[in-house]
């Protein structure tokens, strides 16, 4: 984000073995979505997946440092077992839910999503996970709930980056309830069919594919249903640059750079940038959530 932006290109030339999956595999992935027509705009046969190496070695996880290589270097220190998630606020069944118990109730699917960072790089990731809506329904959303707040683990002894006040820890994010209940909104537990690596947010991270990547909060320990828009880390750090909504939008530039195009990871330093799509290509599915809203105001 604000940090290391100028260094951002230094990793681009690490040309990886691009993972080309054959069409049948892609289609299987798309059908695994269980979303029928809804999943189609992912245009499974057109998307080239980023490799495991790219996805797990070029990360933003500031609790482990601000350089793209820091999370892969330091996140092995994170203890992810046992793990529980507190679900509280406006829910019927508040409590500390053991991660294993959550998993036993959920259906894991594969979702191939575009992922667009606010820093204007992007990837395509084959996530495994379950719909956030299923988890929220498990806890029972009470009438009156309008927002969902999320918190990352804060454990300084395992997270060397937290000694620096880059952000106010713990990392916090939030969604409007209808965004959280949208079938595209995923709680990811894996990538390429393997457990999600620590640097990508083990054991449980949010993925909201039509929003900038910083909304996709990692290593979640708390989910709170509330009637007020919750404070979020990047918005607290710089409200003029990072709004609550943070929908991918090529028509609204970041104050310090353009959002009209993006650099696909793995394309090499001289690869042509590709145009950024409204709502990251999920416009058909999600534009209705923002009808009547001025998206340059609610950025």
User: Is residue 59 within the footprint of ligand MTE (CB under 6 A)?
Assistant: yes
User: Is residue 57 within the footprint of ligand MTE (CB under 6 A)?
Assistant: no
H-assigned helices in the chain: 23-31, 52-57, 70-74, 99-105, 132-139, 177-180, 233-237, 283-286
Residue whose CB is less far from ligand MTE, 90 or 132: 132
Instruction: In the chain, count H helices and then E strands.
Output: 8, 12
Q: Which of 223, 194, 201, 183 is nearest to 97 (CA)?
A: 223
In sign, the C-alpha dihedral spanning 205, 213, 131, 200 is negative
Task: Please identify which residue in 117, 132, 148, 149 interacts with ligand MTE, judged by CB under 6 A.
Answer: 117
Residue whose CB is less far from ligand MTE, 33 or 78: 78
Site stretch for ligand MTE (CB under 6 A), options 35-43, 215-223, 246-254, 278-286? 215-223
User: Is residue 111 within the footprint of ligand MTE (CB under 6 A)?
Assistant: no
User: Is residue 211 within the footprint of ligand MTE (CB under 6 A)?
Assistant: no
Q: Do the bridges between strand 220-226 and strand 147-152 make them parallel or antiparallel, or are there none, so unpaired?
A: antiparallel
User: Is residue 150 within the footprint of ligand MTE (CB under 6 A)?
Assistant: no
Round to whole Å and give the CA distance between 279 and 251.
11
Residue 161 has which token pair? 């980056």
CA 128 from chain centre, in angstroms, equals 13
Residue whose CB is less far from ligand MTE, 90 or 113: 113
Round to whole Å and give the CA distance between 130 and 8.
31
**Are 129 and 109 contacting, i.e. CB atoms less than 8 angstroms apart?**
yes
Which segments within 33-146 are labelled E, that is strand?
84-89, 95-98, 109-116, 121-131
How many positions of this chain bind ligand MTE (CB under 6 A)? Answer: 15
Least Cβ distance, residue 62 to ligand MTE (angstroms): 4
Task: Please identify which residue in 171, 242, 279, 282 interacts with ligand MTE, judged by CB under 6 A.
Answer: 171
Residue whose CB is less far from ligand MTE, 172 or 182: 172
Task: Please identify which residue in 49, 57, 62, 72 interacts with ligand MTE, judged by CB under 6 A.
Answer: 62
Site stretch for ligand MTE (CB under 6 A), options 11-19, 42-50, 61-69, 244-252? 61-69
Round to whole Å and give the CA distance between 159 and 63.
5
User: Is residue 279 within the footprint of ligand MTE (CB under 6 A)?
Assistant: no
User: Is residue 232 within the footprint of ligand MTE (CB under 6 A)?
Assistant: no
Task: Please identify which residue in 214, 242, 290, 299 interacts with ligand MTE, judged by CB under 6 A.
Answer: 214
C-alpha distances out from residue 136 to 107, 184, 218, 223, 258, Å: 14, 14, 17, 9, 36
Least Cβ distance, residue 88 to ligand MTE (angstroms): 19
Helical (H) or strand (E) element with 225: strand 220-226
Task: Please identify which residue in 218, 222, 263, 264 interacts with ligand MTE, judged by CB under 6 A.
Answer: 218
User: Is residue 185 within the footprint of ligand MTE (CB under 6 A)?
Assistant: no
User: Is residue 208 within the footprint of ligand MTE (CB under 6 A)?
Assistant: no
User: Is residue 61 within the footprint of ligand MTE (CB under 6 A)?
Assistant: yes
Q: Which of 83, 193, 63 is nearest to 127 (CA)?
A: 193
Q: Which residues bind ligand MTE (CB under 6 A)?
A: 1, 59-63, 117, 152, 171, 200, 213-214, 216-218
């Amino acid at each position: 984000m604000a940090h290391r932006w100028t260094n951002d290109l230094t990793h681009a030339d690490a040309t990886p073995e691009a993972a080309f999956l054959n069409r049948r595999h892609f289609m299987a992935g798309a059908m695994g979505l269980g979303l029928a027509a809804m999943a189609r705009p992912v245009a499974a046969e057109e998307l080239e997946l980023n490799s495991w190496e790219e996805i797990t070695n070029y990360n933003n996880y500031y609790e482990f440092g601000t350089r793209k290589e820091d999370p892969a270097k330091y996140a092995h220190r994170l203890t992810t077992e046992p793990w529980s998630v507190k679900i509280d606020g406006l829910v019927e069944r508040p409590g500390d839910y053991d991660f294993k118990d959550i998993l036993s109730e959920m259906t894991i699917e594969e979702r191939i999503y575009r992922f667009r960072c606010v820093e204007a790089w992007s990837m395509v990731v084959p996530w495994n996970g379950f719909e956030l809506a299923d988890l929220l329904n498990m806890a029972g959303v009470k009438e009156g709930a309008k927002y969902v707040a999320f918190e990352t683990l804060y454990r300084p002894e395992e997270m060397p980056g937290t000694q620096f006040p880059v952000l106010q820890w713990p990392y916090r994010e939030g969604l409007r309830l209808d965004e959280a209940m949208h079938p595209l909104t995923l709680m990811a537990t894996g990538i390429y069919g393997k457990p999600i690596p620590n640097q990508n947010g083990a054991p449980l991270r949010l993925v909201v594919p039509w929003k900038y990547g910083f909304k996709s909060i990692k290593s979640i320990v708390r989910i709170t249903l509330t009637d007020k828009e919750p404070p979020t880390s990047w918005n607290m750090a710089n409200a003029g640059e990072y709004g609550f909504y943070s929908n991918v939008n090529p028509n609204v530039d970041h104050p310090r750079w353009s959002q009209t195009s993006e650099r696909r990871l793995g394309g090499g330093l001289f690869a042509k940038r590709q145009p950024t799509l409204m709502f990251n290509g999920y416009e058909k599915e999600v534009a209705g959530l923002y009808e009547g809203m001025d998206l340059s105001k609610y950025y």
